[in-house]
Amino acid sequence: MPLKIGDEAPDFKLASATGDKRGEFHLSAQKGKNVVILFYALDFTPV
């Protein structure tokens, strides 16, 4: 079932990198902020 506007966003907690720093990104830990999630295809592609 596709997600609709107003639906609870599925939570996720993933290993991440910011610059050369490793960390973890946890969606539900961002409450109080808007979050822009960019799903992209592959690293080292131009877009």
The residues that touch other proteins, with contacts defined as CB under 8 A, are 1-12, 14-20, 22-23, 25, 27-28, 30-44, 47
What's the min distance (Å) between Cβ of 4 and other proteins? 7
What's the min distance (Å) between Cβ of 26 and other proteins? 10
Report the C-alpha gap between 37 and 34 in whole angstroms: 10
3 state DSSP class of 45: coil
What's the min distance (Å) between Cβ of 13 and other proteins? 9
- Nearest CA to 29 out of 9, 13, 8, 7 is that of 13
